[in-house]
Chain A
């Protein structure tokens, strides 16, 4: 397949070669036996036996979709009519019309990869020759401009340096998905701006993502921009919350995410850059910036990036994604409007019941001990704590049931003014018994390092239809994303 507007090849036979390729070196002596235009990719002096044209910038190779060398073509009136790749003796004999060509050579030898499809070179070639694939506005810098400073000056960063989004880097990023760069993925609040795959890729480059992370970034952007998650409100609130992204599925291992030691900390590129890319999309595409629509009183460090994987491999429980209707083989992101994590310490509990008591005592304090039902939590149970529960046979459902059972309070303890604390619930609820969390308000996740009798709780923002609902969204790799209705 030849690209539109490709430079014309001369009529007759044409061959593309490179000296580095053993098959090319094998067929080179044959090229004196018939008239052929020779294009060489690496060494201009190759082949030694006859003149060649050096395709130094690989323009011809790229435009004519040369994927393998040698490639032999027959051109008639400027158009390709035949092509063979590598050395297949019958093909070469047929195309050249020489019935005995290469009879002393093997019947077949595969060729080598064309330099124009070298993963290190292809994005640059696509940027140089591909023309209008990318539609984002170009920002030109003068020779002496510092691109890092320019990106700060224009307000495109989260306060940390970003990777400059060159055409080449964005094209390389787009190789991480089969989806059309121009596909509108969703509408990003607060400015309600349609965002394309391309714009997500630009911000993913800036965040430092690798191409294989892009489907995860896209899924998380789709998830936070749902009406259920309500990123507008999450952004605008004075509370210190942002999207907390919990990733599930075999893909988390494939891209090297961390669900083990320091899962919520620094040091893992996939965790940090996926989370960061989502925030950069909200900032740059949606226009959600601190001091503008983002009115957080304190914020939290997780608003730069807060993304980690569930440690499924050693978990005694079904995963968070399974609890939300997905299969273990599905790759998903679950987004939760959350603050920073707070440590739960219990190094003495050896029974599940003892540990549940500690968990409940800590969970009760979330945001304010007297505020109930209105906030959810992500409870990140460390492996050593999970083992204590598992040793007593508590599965996910049992752990959650036992925690909820320990978190009921009499309304009289919670009403405004009770205990000398002004905040709480209205007086007319004083005779009720009230739970700390709504029935699905604890999202149990297994993550953390193998040593340490610790867990963590992440407090949420106003929940329910008037606030933010956790949303689980499938990560898709195909061109057509028709599974949006699966989100739960």
Chain B
């Protein structure tokens, strides 16, 4: 007899999204630097901003209210509409 079990999951199929191809240069790109509000993430991002700017990128800085929760929808929307690349500083 065939055994039948019930699926314990949320039964969602999460869409798989490919990353964008790595750009050949920063020309015309706006790079978002997202500070997740962990200590000294800003130190890391300051260094990145200097190097990216030197490489010709236009840089915009953003910050999550807290590292413990996902970025608010509005912030994600803001980054998506204003920038073409994003770098997230993950930890201290």
Asked if A and B bind, the verdict is yes
Q: How far, in whole Å, are A206 and B5 apart by their CA atoms in the complex?
A: 11
Knowing A230-B68, A237-B68, A462-B68, say if A287 contacts B10 (CB, 8 Å). Answer: yes
A139 adjacent to B5 (CB under 8 Å) = yes
Smallest CB separation, A108 vs chain B (Å)? 44
* Least distance between B70 CB and chain A CB atoms (Å): 6
Q: Is B16 an interface residue (CB 8 A)?
A: no
A230-B69, A466-B66 given as contacts; is B5 within 8 A of A188 (CB)? no
In the complex, chain A residues whose CB is within 8 Å of the CB of B23 = none
Range class of the B interface residue count: 20 to 34
Residues of B within 8 A of A359 (CB): none
- Structural contact, B12 and A284, CB atoms closer than 8 A: no
- Most chain A Cβ neighbours within 10 Å, of B2, B8, B66, B70: B8
> A165 contacts B10, CB within 8 Å?
no
Nearest-Cβ distance from residue A155 to partner chain B, whole angstroms? 9
Closest to B2 in A: A140
B8 to chain A, nearest CB (A): 4
Chain B residues 1-47 with CB under 8 Å of chain A are: 1-12, 14, 37
Q: Is A195 engaged at the interface, CB distance under 8 Å to the other chain? A: yes
A232 at the interface (CB under 8 A from B): yes
Query: Do the beta carbons of B3 and A147 come within 8 Å of each other?
Result: yes
Task: Give the docked Cα–Cα distance between A4 and B3 (Å).
Answer: 26
- Chain A residues with CB under 8 Å of B56's CB are none
Does the CB pair A199–B5 fall under 8 Å? no
* Neighbouring A residues of B3 by C-beta, 8 Å: 140-141, 143, 145, 147, 164, 166
Task: Specify the chain B residue showing the minimal Cβ separation from A137.
Answer: B7
In angstroms, how far is the closest chain A Cβ from the Cβ of B3? 4
**Hey, which chain B residues are within 8 Å of A467, CB to CB?**
66, 68
Interface string of A117-152 (1 = CB under 8 A from B): 000000000000000001011111111010100110
A145 vs B91: C-alpha distance in the bound complex, in angstroms? 44
Q: A298 CA to B14 CA in the complex, in Å?
A: 28
Q: How far is the CA of A137 from the CA of B11 in the complex (A)?
A: 8
Does A459 touch B at the CB level, under 8 Å?
A: no
B72 in the interface (beta carbon within 8 A): no
How many Å from the CB of A10 to the closest CB on chain B?
A: 32
Known: A137-B7, A138-B4, A199-B8. A191 touches B68 (CB 8 A): no
Residues of B contacting A137 in the complex (Cβ-Cβ under 8 angstroms):
6-7, 11
Verify A136–B6 contact, CB threshold 8 A.
yes
Determine which of B5, B8, B9, B69 lies in contact with A232 in the assembled complex, contact meaning CB atoms within 8 Å. Answer: B69
Q: In the complex, what distance in Å separates the CA atom of A466 from the CA atom of B91?
A: 16
Q: Does A202 contact B (CB under 8 A)?
A: yes
CA distance A233 to B65 in the complex (A): 13
Q: Which residue of B lies closest to A188 (CB)?
A: B10
Closest Cβ neighbor of B1 among chain A residues: A143
Residues on the B chain within 8 Å of A237, using CB: 68
Q: Given that A142-B2, A167-B4 are contacting pairs, would A193 and B68 also be in contact in the complex, using a CB cutoff of 8 Å?
A: no
B10's nearest neighbour on chain A, judged by CB, is A193
Most A-side CB within 10 Å, residue of B3, B5, B10: B5
Which residues of chain B are near A236, meaning CB under 8 Å?
A: 68
* B9 and A138 form a contact (CB under 8 A): no
Name the residue on A nearest B14 (C-beta): A191
For B37, the chain A residues whose CB sits under 8 A away are 466
Asked, given contacts A136-B11, A191-B14, A199-B10, whether A165 binds B68 with beta carbons under 8 Å apart, the answer is no
A139: chain B residues within 8 A (beta carbon): 4-7
On chain B, the residues within 8 Å of A165 by CB distance are 5-6, 8
**Which residues from chain A contact B1 at a C-beta distance below 8 Å?**
143
- Complex interface bits, A193-205 against B, C-beta within 8 A gives 1, otherwise 0: 1110001001100
Chain B's closest residue to A151 (CB) is: B5
Contacts of B7 in A (CB 8 A): 136-139, 202
Q: What A residues does B11 contact at CB under 8 A?
A: 136-137
Contact among A143, A191, A230, A233 with B10 in the assembled complex (CB-CB below 8 Å): A191
Within the complex, the shortest CB–CB distance from A294 to chain B, in Å, comes to 14
Contacts of A442 in B (CB 8 A): none
Chain B residues, Cβ within 8 Å of A136: 6-8, 11
Distance of A458 from chain B, by nearest CB (Å):
19
Q: Are A202 and B6 in contact (CB under 8 A)?
A: yes
- Return B15 CB to nearest CB of chain A, in Å: 12
Bound CA span A191–B15, Å: 12
> How far does the alpha carbon of A285 sit from the alpha carbon of B37 in the complex, in Å?
29
A170 lies within 8 A of B12 (CB): no
- Chain B window 64-83, contacts with chain A (Cβ cutoff 8 Å), 1 for yes, 0 for no: 01111110000000000000
In the bound assembly, the distance between CA atoms of A206 and B8 in angstroms comes to: 9
26 A-B contact pairs sorted by A residue (CB < 8 Å): A134-B6, A136-B8, A136-B11, A139-B4, A139-B7, A140-B3, A141-B3, A141-B5, A143-B3, A145-B3, A150-B5, A166-B6, A190-B70, A191-B12, A191-B14, A199-B10, A230-B68, A236-B68, A284-B10, A287-B10, A466-B65, A466-B68, A466-B69, A467-B66, A467-B68, A468-B68
15 more contacts with CB within 8 A, not counting A138-B4, A139-B4, A233-B69, are A138-B5, A139-B7, A140-B4, A141-B2, A156-B9, A164-B5, A165-B8, A166-B6, A170-B6, A191-B12, A206-B8, A232-B69, A285-B9, A466-B68, A466-B69
